[in-house]
């Protein structure tokens, strides 16, 4: 495959304005009840996702970064309908997912897939590869020809040996297992794949192979990804746009280049600063060391005002009282009182 | 030779094997290195390369009866730890050499309070009253920046967050002022902002003159923390040198490829340089250089002959036939 041409095409595609969002989400809220006592009374809520909006265009990758417990996985699952949103609107190719009946939802679900973090637990140990990667096709009656042909084609697509289709997941290495997961997600020709930390469990030398594979497939099939990761360096390599999440809220979003080179939110700055390693001389705000105090507060009792004020190095009086509004310039948006 | 001239830790030609159902596996193959006083040495490699086994073998914590230290010497101030009996070894562990594990939640006892665990460790090694031990523990919690140390002493591990638990582990590892701390992936389970806090803490702890052997898979962590680096691949050390030499003048093709394959924080999107293939199984390493199958520069000699570490000057050594001393 001609990589340079693809990089070029990708950039061209990206420069075009928001033309056809595959997925749009507005003001999503996913709360989990906390139950206590023998009557299991609801005594409070864990606000895993608390008002988040985003969109993903066709062929585009949106990176979603944040620390553990910030709600990024819950947001991804909510978008797929795996968690029930308490409030908000999810439009998939223009249809509101929260209003569809079961039959319509079933058809939509074929078009959105997910890849999980731990490639082994995501695969049934008692099914062989051919059963795993053609299960969806059989379920949706999409088999033309033999199952073997489909399975072999998918194996080739993800760079695995097509002769291995009768093997079981435990016979593969971590990177190969993640390729099987990708083949399964790919089998139903989806429009959107939610990649939830797809390379976090892999060794660095294998990580790069899987990231490259995901990029190739995206360009070949014009796929859209929601790429969830705690690792900003991984996201910066694959995502066109990046959203930063903290305590259930998106605090900043924009083209990945702007997020890395011109971060606005103090939390984004701190996250970039905390990425360990050399080669950051060109990134100016890496020179000074920013170390955040304390830890991420509990999402069952989030702080008043701006969620980040308990750890923010640039906190002002107003941050403790009022939640900031979105400040937007072009494709870059931020929720911070410093800019209002 | 005086006490001061002795190397803090010197590992000579150590080989560790494990008995498995499929055969005998060499987890560590003829590995030698040293750690000097007041030095942080990083041991970096991918999972299964033998880095954790190397660390465990120093404290003789290799699980019996399957694991065995086949050959070699572990010299701690010139004394071979492999010659010590159980009782003598227990005096070393925790006191002269302490360890920080990857999962603080699993390393702390869930049934006892932080204070009780810390005091128990101190009393095992020091002949002091319980009250004094309690005070030492409390001051160390303060030194690792735990708020309300007095109250935290009564807390159970589950009541603390991951970052706090790791701080407790660091306090426990340092409170007996050991000569060497072995840290096995100390920040892998933590978020980046918490990891940055732990880095800062360890940097501050250097004033206690503690030396450290830091084991990690993350080159970024190595860059932040270490003075010297050992790169391990498939049970062998393939390159060693000062941090800057390893990052700026990597010589072994594996080190070069490893550094290139790490996703860099950058605004430019693009393909990564991946290392083809995968780490070979310890049951059937290539007969020559272990990196032979994946090496872009491999030639005939690499197939059957094992390369020795070649000195490149300034303590920089690489186990590759292509490495040349240019000085």
Asked if residue A179 is part of any domain, the answer here is no
**A129-181 residue pLDDT tens:** 999 999 999 999 888 889 999 999 999 999 999 899 999 999 998 889 999 99
DSSP string, A278-309: S--TTSGGGSS-----S-PPPTTSPPSSSTTT
Instruction: Give the DSSP H or E segment for B122.
Output: helix B114-125
Residue A131 falls within a domain, yes or no? no
> Chain B: nearest CA to A256, how far in angstroms?
6
- CA separation for the pair B17, B262 (Å, rounded): 30
The reply to whether A148 falls in a domain is no
Are the beta carbons of B274 and A205 separated by less than 8 Å?
yes
Domain that holds residue A50: 3-111+189-339
On chain B, the residues whose CB falls within 8 A of the CB of A208 are 261-263, 272-275
Point out the residue among A212, A289, A295 whose CB comes nearest to the CB of B161. A295
Indicate the residue of B200, B261, B265 with minimum beta-carbon distance to A208.
B261
Residue A81 counted as domain residue: yes
Question: Is residue A128 assigned to a domain?
Answer: no
pLDDT in tens, B239-248: 999 999 999 9
Kindly provide the residue ranges of all beta strands, DSSP E only, lying in B39-147, ordered along the sequence: 40-44, 67-76, 79-80, 97-100
Q: Decide if B263 and A208 are in contact by the 8 Å CB cutoff.
A: yes
Q: What is the CATH number of the domain that holds A28?
A: 3.40.50.300
Given an 8 Å threshold on Cβ–Cβ distance, is B263 in contact with A275? no
The answer to whether the Cβ–Cβ distance between B196 and A67 falls below 8 Å is no
Prior bond of B65 cis (ω within 30°):
yes
Three-class DSSP category at A240: coil
CB pairs under 8 A between A and B: 134
Is B279 within 8 Å of A205 when comparing Cβ atoms? yes
Length of chain B: 327
Given this model, what pLDDT does residue B162 score?
A: 84
Q: Do A208 and B272 touch (CB under 8 A)?
A: yes
Q: Considering Cα of A127, then A131, then A136, then A138, what sign does the dihedral take? A: negative
Query: Sorting pLDDT into bands at 50, 70 and 90, what band is B324?
Result: confident
Q: Which of B161, B162, B148, B69 is nearest to B115 (CA)?
A: B148
User: How much is the pLDDT for A184?
Assistant: 95
Please write the tens of the pLDDT for every residue from B196-210.
888 888 888 887 778
CA distance B203 to A91: 49
User: CA B65, CA B67: separation in Å to the nearest integer?
Assistant: 6
Closest partner CB to A209 (pick from B217, B270, B274): B274
Q: With 70 as the cut, is the pLDDT of residue B191 above it?
A: yes
Q: Tell if the CB–CB gap between B269 and A10 is shorter than 8 Å.
A: yes
Among B198, B213, B105, residue whose Cα is nearest residue B156: B105
- Please answer whether residues B158 and B110 qualify as being in contact, where contact means their C-beta atoms are separated by less than 8 angstroms: yes
A237:B263 CB<8 A: yes
- Please indicate, yes or no, if residue A162 is contained in any of the structural domains: no
To the nearest whole angstrom, how far is the Cα of A35 from the nearest Cα of chain B? 19
Residue B190 binned pLDDT confidence (cut-offs 50, 70, 90): confident
List the one residue out of B152, B148, B149, B142 whose CA is nearest residue B174: B142
Question: pLDDT, tens digit, for every residue of B146-172?
Answer: 888 999 999 999 998 888 898 899 999
Decide if B261 touches A, using CB distance below 8 A: yes
Burial of B97 (0-12, 13-18, 19+ CB in 10 A): buried
Could you tell me if residue A93 is inside a domain?
A: yes
Contact B223 A295 (CB under 8 A): no
Half-sphere exposure of B124 (CA within 13 A, CB side): 17
Give residue limits of the domains in chain B. Answer: 110-171
Closest CA to B46 of B273, B219, B221: B219
Q: Which of B99, B104, B103 is nearest to B212 (CA)?
A: B99
The pLDDT averaged over each successive group of 10 residues in chain A (340 residues) is 48 51 92 88 90 92 91 92 90 89 88 92 94 93 89 93 92 91 94 94 87 94 94 92 94 93 93 79 61 84 91 92 91 92
Interface mutation target, options A203, A233, A281, chain B, most CBs of B under 10 Å: A203
For residues A266 and A293, is the Cβ–Cβ distance under 8 A?
no
Check residue B85 and give its pLDDT: 93
- Residue A267 exposed, middle or buried by CB count within 10 Å (0-12, 13-18, 19+): buried
Query: What proportion of chain B, given as a percentage, has pLDDT over 90?
Result: 61
Comparing CA positions, the residue from B44, B46, B45, B56 lying closest to residue B18 is B56
Q: How far apart are CA B199 and CA B221, in angstroms?
A: 9
């Amino acid at each position: 495959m001609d990589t340079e041409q693809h990089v070029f095409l990708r950039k061209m595609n990206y420069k075009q304005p928001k033309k056809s969002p595959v997925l749009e989400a507005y003001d999503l809220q996913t709360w989990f009840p906390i139950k206590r006592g023998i009557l299991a009374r609801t005594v409070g809520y864990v606000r895993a996702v608390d008002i988040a909006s985003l969109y993903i265009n066709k062929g585009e990758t949106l990176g979603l970064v944040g620390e553990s417990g910030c709600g990024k996985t819950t947001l991804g699952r909510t978008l797929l309908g795996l968690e029930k949103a308490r409030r908000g609107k999810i439009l998939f190719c223009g249809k509101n997912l929260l209003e569809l009946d079961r039959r319509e939802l079933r058809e939509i679900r074929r078009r959105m897939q997910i890849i999980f973090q731990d490639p082994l637990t995501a695969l049934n140990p008692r099914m062989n590869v051919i059963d795993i990667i053609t299960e969806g096709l059989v379920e949706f009656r999409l088999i033309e020809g033999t199952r073997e042909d489909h399975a072999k084609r998918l194996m080739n697509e993800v760079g695995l040996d097509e002769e291995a289709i009768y093997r079981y997941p435990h016979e593969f290495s971590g990177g190969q297992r993640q390729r099987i997961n990708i083949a399964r997600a790919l089998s139903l020709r989806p429009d959107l794949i939610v990649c939830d930390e797809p390379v976090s469990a892999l060794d660095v030398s294998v990580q790069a192979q899987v990231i490259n594979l995901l990029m190739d497939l995206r360009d070949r099939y014009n796929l859209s990804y929601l790429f969830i990761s705690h690792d900003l360096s991984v996201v910066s390599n694959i995502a066109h746009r990046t959203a930063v999440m903290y305590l259930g809220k998106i605090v900043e979003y924009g083209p990945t280049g702007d997020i890395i080179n011109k971060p606005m939110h103090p939390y984004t700055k701190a996250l970039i600063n905390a990425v360990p390693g050399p080669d950051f001389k060109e990134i100016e705000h890496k020179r000074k060391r920013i170390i955040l105090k304390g830890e991420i507060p509990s999402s069952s009792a989030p702080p008043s005002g701006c969620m980040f004020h308990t750890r923010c190095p640039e906190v002002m009086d107003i941050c403790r009282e009022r939640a900031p509004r979105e400040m937007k310039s072009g494709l870059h948006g931020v929720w911070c009182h410093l800019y209002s | 030779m005086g006490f001061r001239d002795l190397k803090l830790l010197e590992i000579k030609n150590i080989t560790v094997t494990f008995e498995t159902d499929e055969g005998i596996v060499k987890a560590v193959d003829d590995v030698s290195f040293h750690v000097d006083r007041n030095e942080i040495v990083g041991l970096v490699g991918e999972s299964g390369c033998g880095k954790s086994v190397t660390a465990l073998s120093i404290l003789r914590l290799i699980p019996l009866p399957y694991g065995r230290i086949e050959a070699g010497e572990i010299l701690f101030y010139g004394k071979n730890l492999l010659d010590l009996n159980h009782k003598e070894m227990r005096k070393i562990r925790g006191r002269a050499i302490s360890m920080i594990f990857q999962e603080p939640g699993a390393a702390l006892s869930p049934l006892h309070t932080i204070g009780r665990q810390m005091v128990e460790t101190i009393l095992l090694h020091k002949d002091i009253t319980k009250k004094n031990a309690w005070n030492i523990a409390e001051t160390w919690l303060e030194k690792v920046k735990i708020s309300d140390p007095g109250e935290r002493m009564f807390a159970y591990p589950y009541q603390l967050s991951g970052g706090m638990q790791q701080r407790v582990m660091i306090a426990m590892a340092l409170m007996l002022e050991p000569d060497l701390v072995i840290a096995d992936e100390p920040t892998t389970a933590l978020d980046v902002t918490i990891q940055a806090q732990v880095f800062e803490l360890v940097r501050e702890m250097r004033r206690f003159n503690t030396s450290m052997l830091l084991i990690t898979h993350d080159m970024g962590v190595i860059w932040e923390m270490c003075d010297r680096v050992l790169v391990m691949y498939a049970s062998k050390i393939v390159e060693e040198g000062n941090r800057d030499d390893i990052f700026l003048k990597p010589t072994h093709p594996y080190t070069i490829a490893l550094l290139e394959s790490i996703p860099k924080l950058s605004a430019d999107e693009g393909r990564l340089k991946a290392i083809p293939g995968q780490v070979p199984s310890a049951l059937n390493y290539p007969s020559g250089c272990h990196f032979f199958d994946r090496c872009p520069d491999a030639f005939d000699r690499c197939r059957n002959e094992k390369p020795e570490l070649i000195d490149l000057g300034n303590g920089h050594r690489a186990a590759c036939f292509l490495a040349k001393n240019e000085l």
